[in-house]
Structure 1
Amino acid sequence: MSEQRTVAVLTEITETTEQPSFGSIHCFCEELAQCAKERGLFFYVTSPSLYLQRIGYQWIGGEWMKRDVPPADVIYNRLHSRQSEHSPLFAELLTRLAVEGGSMFNHRFLHKWEVYRYFEQHEYLHPYLPKTALWSNEDTLEAFLTAFPSVFLKPIHGSQGRGIFRLERSDGTIRLRHSTSASTTTYSSIDTLVSALRRRTKAPMIIQQGLEIHTIDGRPVDFRLLCHRVRNNHWRVTSAVARVAPPDQFVANLARGGELMAINTVLREWYTASDAFQQKQLLKEIAMEAATVLALEAEGLYGELGIDLAIDVHDQPWIIEVNTKPSKQTDMTSAPQTVRPSAKAIIEYCLTLMEEKE
């Protein structure tokens, strides 16, 4: 390892003649750089190709400067493309990192089906798991539509609410809606529905029990709890927000036009102060349990997870999804210049990994 403790963020970089762009985490990288400096760390942002050339961007005097950099003791993987993680460059980077004795966390994207299978192995999470199966044929769809008033089809590699279908059976017909459309298509039989779905879906899909979740003004609400790993595989929640779906939509993702609200504000719409507090604590406990299970079961190292939960009209919490590269849009503070708790948590976890190795 290098003489000075070194942390790098690995992401896609758009290089221009002026300042580079780190995409959706650009401002977050400035916060990380500030935290790292306060803790005496050498910090830079790089990409797979730049890292192999020992080049990175340092935050110096209010701008990002391209510099020769030392090997990283710890790399925080914020690549946003699954294709990048399957590239020869990424494989070469992992080999180089192993030879140099460095660590990487948030090892790779975890898809929806493998996450469900990890959770399924732990019985205490079963009450919070919507029934889920890998969609393979008409029989699976028929069984779910018979068992539940509504079901969802989701691409296992999907993100940001893209490519999701909602299906409901009513009066001998099946109604189909897509997450990017407000219109509904009606089918008279499973066969015609499946034929239509086959034409519109190419990637593997999961089929999942539909939930009648709580709403605000008729708009479905879910919750994003951002969890960070501390020591000994313990986790803590660093931020929690509510996301409200746009009018006439059934997904609350911000990328689909969802609205952020304070979690306390939403829970007080539904509950007394005491019950709202209890529900918030339960959501936090479920999120931390879910993070602990994934850290235990999934290959590689994970230090940051976005856990999406919802509460149904019977006040039952459910685990909806897990994001291994959680958006920083939901991790907000009231003051624009404030360093977010999640930036501090990332740097603290990097220090923990280095101390454990030493």
Structure 2
Amino acid sequence: MIRISWDIDSKRWYHHEQNVMVVWGAADDPLPFSPSLKKDFSFTLKKNDFNKAGPIIGILTSSKKNLPFIGNIDTFIRLTRYVHEQGGLAVVFSAMDVSLSSIHGYTLSPGDSKWRRVKIPPPDFVYNRIPYHKDEASQEFQSLIAWLDNFSIRYFNHCFFSKWQTYLIMNDNPYLQRFLPETMRLSSKQQLRDFLNEHNQIMIKPCAKSKGKGIFSLEWKQDGTISYKSNNGIAYTHLDHLWSIIHNRKDLIMQPFVKRKQYHARPFDYRILVQKLEEDWHVTGYGIRCTGRSRLTTHVPSGGKLLPAETAPLDMKIIRRMSSEIGKALDRATGPIGEFSIDLGVDSENRYWIFEINSKPMVFDENDIQKKSIERWYQQILWMTGFAASDIKGPSPTHTIVKGG
């Protein structure tokens, strides 16, 4: 371990171990020595066999006018504190904070736990927590990815997943095909009519939204009208009117409506967290969510309710195989992947259905899953960056577990 500190006046980092040459960051930049330790802004970092201090972890998010960064701030605090406790340095930044050979970002000051702007060399690892799809489509993001590749900086979860693309990837896998509902891109009114005629009740989902946003169901009624249900309620319409509203949408997919098992007359499904440790995929845990009253989806921010995992246990042999197959397929097609979550439904015949794969899992409300997830997250980063993981500790009990993420 080695002590470093940030000098506010010179805007530089220093180490404090005499007669030792220390480097840090992806480019192995020299870390200058100073006998003067700034105790109010100092950190203890790991040091590997090559006198490299670290790891330096960049947490990538978005910025906004008049705000240095945006996103789930509680998640950033939780991750940053954990990294600091474990002997690393975490800095939150956006693509706009990157220069030719450094990053200006924000880290928590140990003295007062306030966000302080600092400068770091190219980090050892970058964790993508950009909150909006549109920001990953920007030229700034593409330039950042090229910058990371130029310095051979390790990262995972390159971008949000498209529901349609992940369906195609999984549908190429013979084992996973059995868990996939029939899925089609919505492209014409006649196609919509035919799909409704075949299945009577269907789900419509935007390819590039998460947390249940934009999802609605359609069902033919006996009088020829269509029941339109979303988290905002139920309306009745006709096909022509419905198509006049959605015909310009190019990002919608259709699936048959799966009648899931219920708890007290409310459908429920599962959130399964899967993480990579070295080269293997592991199920970290799963939670159960049931729909809120008169709601379509089970997402907690939309009114969903948590159920204990023992309410309806899963066959973990199937889940582990499914998770491993998904991880390997995604790695090959879109890699590098380090974690994902599965939205899984089980119907009345006990058949498993994969509804969605999320590249940026939300924070789990179950404390045991959240504790294990942050340990595995950091363990994988240490393995990828060449720092010892044998002395990794659990998160402090002072960590705040919050909804969202």
* TM-score above 0.5, yes or no: yes
CA distance in 2, matches of 1:248, 1:162: 16
**CA shift at 1:309, angstroms?**
0.3
* Conserved 8 A contact 2:128-2:157: yes
* Conserved 8 A contact 1:151-1:207: yes
Among 272, 276, 281, which residue is 1:235 paired with?
281
* Conserved 8 A contact 1:32-1:347: no
CA distance in 2, matches of 1:158, 1:343: 25
Q: What does 1:101-250 align with in structure 2 at a 5 Å threshold?
A: 101-171=152-222, 173-187=224-238, 190-198=239-247, 202-232=249-279, 234-250=280-296
1:353 correspondence with 2:359: no
Q: Secondary structure at the match of 1:76?
A: strand
CA distance in 1, matches of 2:371, 2:293: 30
* Conserved 8 A contact 1:161-1:255: no
How many equivalent pairs are there? 333
Q: Please list the CA deviations of residues 190-247 of structure 1 after superposition, one character each: whole Å capped at 9, or x if unmatched.
A: 444423433xx63421011110111122222111111111122x21122311111111
Q: Please list the CA deviations of residues 137-183 of structure 1 after superposition, one character each: whole Å capped at 9, or x if unmatched.
A: 13322332232231111111122212122111232524232423212
* Conserved 8 A contact 1:252-1:259: yes
Among 295, 307, 311, which residue is 2:346 paired with?
311
Distance 1:339 1:168, change over 3 A: closer
**CA shift at 1:56, angstroms?**
1.7
Q: What does 1:8-19 align with in structure 2 at a 5 Å threshold?
A: 8-13=58-63
Distance 1:180 1:250, change over 3 A: closer
* Conserved 8 A contact 2:103-2:119: yes
Q: Secondary structure at the match of 1:295?
A: helix
Distance 1:158 1:310, change over 3 A: same
TM-score, length of structure 1 as denominator length: 0.85
User: In structure 1, what residue type is equivalent to 2:361?
Assistant: P
1:282 correspondence with 2:318: yes
Among 53, 64, 75, which residue is 1:28 paired with?
75
Structure number with higher strand proportion: 2
Distance 1:207 1:191, change over 3 A: same
Radius of gyration: which is bigger? 2
Among 319, 339, 355, which residue is 1:320 paired with?
355
CA distance in 2, matches of 1:191, 1:93: 45
**CA shift at 1:117, angstroms?**
0.3
CA distance in 2, matches of 1:351, 1:289: 24
* Conserved 8 A contact 1:310-1:319: yes
Gaps of 5+ in 1: 268-275
Among 367, 379, 388, which residue is 1:333 paired with?
367
The answer for the alignment partner of 1:253 in structure 2 is: 299
Output the aligned Cα RMSD: 2.5
CA distance in 2, matches of 1:90, 1:107: 10
**CA shift at 1:116, angstroms?**
0.4
* Conserved 8 A contact 1:31-1:340: no
Q: Secondary structure at the match of 2:286?
A: strand
TM-score, length of structure 2 as denominator length: 0.75
Gaps of 5+ in 2: 1-25, 29-51, 388-405
User: In structure 1, what residue type is equivalent to 2:315?
Assistant: Q
